[in-house]
């Protein structure tokens, strides 16, 4: 799912929430994923005040994907 998000297959808010939940469940209290989990919770395509857009969230997603592969 994270790979699909990075590749642009599905960058919906629903996909972000799904990834957020999966990371939180699989890696609770793992500092390596804390920033990404928080960013996914604040993700909105196109961004907005206090929100993460695609440009800001993709580097975090790519870094997490590298850790997972």
pTM of the shown model: 0.90
Contact 2, 68 (CB under 8 A): yes
pLDDT tens digits along 11-67? 999 999 999 999 999 999 999 999 999 999 999 999 899 999 999 999 999 999 999
What Cα–Cα distance (Å) separates residue 66 from each residue in 13, 47, 60, 63?
A: 22, 24, 10, 5
pLDDT of residue 58: 97
> What per-residue confidence (pLDDT) applies to 6?
96
Q: What is the pLDDT of residue 44?
A: 95
Q: Are 11 and 5 in contact (CB under 8 A)?
A: yes
Would the CA dihedral through 63, 64, 68, 69 be positive or negative?
A: negative
From first CA to last CA, the distance across the chain in angstroms is 13
């Amino acid at each position: 799912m994270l790979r699909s998000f990075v590749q642009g297959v599905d960058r919906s808010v629903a996909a972000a929430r799904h990834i957020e939940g999966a990371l939180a469940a699989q890696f609770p209290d793992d500092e390596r994923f804390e920033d990404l989990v928080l960013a996914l919770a604040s993700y909105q395509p196109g961004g907005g005040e206090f929100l993460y857009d695609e440009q800001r969230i993709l580097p975090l997603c790519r870094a997490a994907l590298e850790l997972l592969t």
